[in-house]
Amino acid sequence: MPEIDDSMKKYLITSPEFYTDTPEIFREKLRCQIQTHQPEYALFRDKTTSNYALLAEIFVSVCREFQNLKSFLHQDYILAQKLSATGVHLSSIQFDEIVKAKENNLEVIISTHTHEEVALAQKLGADAVTYSPIFASPNKGEPKGIEDLKILLNKCDIKVFALGGIVGFEEERQLKDIRIYGFASIRYFWTKKKVKM
């Protein structure tokens, strides 16, 4: 079988399901997963915790331990600036905050689900987008598939992370031959180190 294209960037997204909201457990599990998978990007995403600011501070601190790892906070560009994170990952209803976040010297990634949203993100100056769902993913609607992703990549210049249903080498292989900047996932990173086939 072909080798995975190691030039694709990996974007780790946290989930309380795996990392918990207990500070020390969160710190150790996050550190372990970064060491195991060596992503270039990481996002702290947790919509349920009441300790978001505290855990965000721990998250940024752990990310700083790893050279060339960019740290992003979910939705809150003010907190991202305060904690000196690399940037903010905005939701698909936060397009009006792209310019504000950029003015605060943050890198901006924004969630998108249509070609039109990707074009708007590029126009407003976002650094990258996640585009989803590419593969089947629980409660995320009909997957867009590789062919739709190829069409998108031929229409835009912005960095695109494929997102949705990327859980292992099978999905990774399907992405490797197209001009994709990287892929983002929660479940892919919550596994033991994968062995290339």
| pLDDT mean over 81-94 | 98
Residue 93 maps to which CATH number? Answer: 3.20.20.70
According to DSSP, residue 14 is labeled: -
pLDDT at 101 over 60: yes
- Domain membership of residue 61 (yes or no) is yes
Residues 2-32 pLDDT 10s:
444 468 999 999 999 999 989 999 999 999 9
**Contact call for residues 72 and 44 (beta carbons, < 8 A):** yes
- Tell me how many domains the chain contains: 1
Residue 4: its pLDDT value, please?
A: 46
- Domain membership of residue 1 (yes or no) is no
Residue 175: domain span: 9-189
- Domain membership of residue 3 (yes or no) is no
Residues 123-172 pLDDT 10s:
999 999 999 999 988 777 899 999 999 999 999 999 999 999 999 989 99
- Domain membership of residue 196 (yes or no) is no
Half-sphere exposure of 181 (CA within 13 A, CB side): 20
Mean of the per-residue pLDDT values of the chain: 92
- Domain membership of residue 2 (yes or no) is no
Residue 166: its pLDDT value, please?
A: 95
Residue 125: its pLDDT value, please?
A: 98
In angstroms, the CA 136 to CA 130 distance is 15
- Domain membership of residue 21 (yes or no) is yes
Residue 2: its pLDDT value, please?
A: 40
Residues 174-196 pLDDT 10s:
998 897 999 999 999 986 555 44
Residue 6: its pLDDT value, please?
A: 62
Residue 138: its pLDDT value, please?
A: 76
